[in-house]
């Protein structure tokens, strides 16, 4: 219930902040990319930097999640082998049962 309210409020707040930033920072800036220089609006440059940072964060998260998934799979296989070994040892007759 709160997710249905919080997400639109957060998105609306981000939209309002973006519009205010655009209105308060008119003008173009030059960005030197090494091989060439690009001229763009300040608000567009900030939005692109934000988008690239967000995308980089998602890629890093995907790598971490993949590592966790693979580790979990390896641990499940090890647990399965250990349980099979315990079952096999329990089915053996006791050595001191004479």
Backbone angles phi, psi at 40, to 5 degrees: -150, 165
Residues 53 and 31: their CA atoms lie apart, in Å, by 17
CB 67 within 8 A of CB 61: no
CB 27 within 8 A of CB 41: yes
Give 44-58 pLDDT, tens digit per residue.
888 888 889 999 999
pTM value is: 0.63
SS3 (DSSP) at 26: coil
CB 47 within 8 A of CB 17: no
Give 16-70 pLDDT, tens digit per residue.
887 888 788 888 999 898 899 999 988 888 888 888 999 999 999 999 999 999 9
Count other Cβ atoms within 10 Å, centred on residue 4. 7
């Amino acid at each position: 219930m709160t997710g249905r309210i919080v997400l639109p409020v957060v998105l609306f707040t981000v939209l309002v902040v973006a519009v205010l930033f655009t209105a308060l920072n008119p003008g173009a800036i030059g960005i030197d990319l090494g091989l060439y220089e690009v001229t763009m609006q300040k608000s567009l440059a900030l939005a692109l930097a934000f988008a690239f940072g967000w995308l980089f964060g998602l890629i890093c998260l995907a790598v971490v999640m993949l590592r966790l998934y693979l580790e979990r799979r390896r641990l499940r296989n090890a647990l399965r082998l250990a349980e099979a070994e315990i079952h096999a040892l329990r089915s053996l007759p006791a050595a001191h049962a004479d």
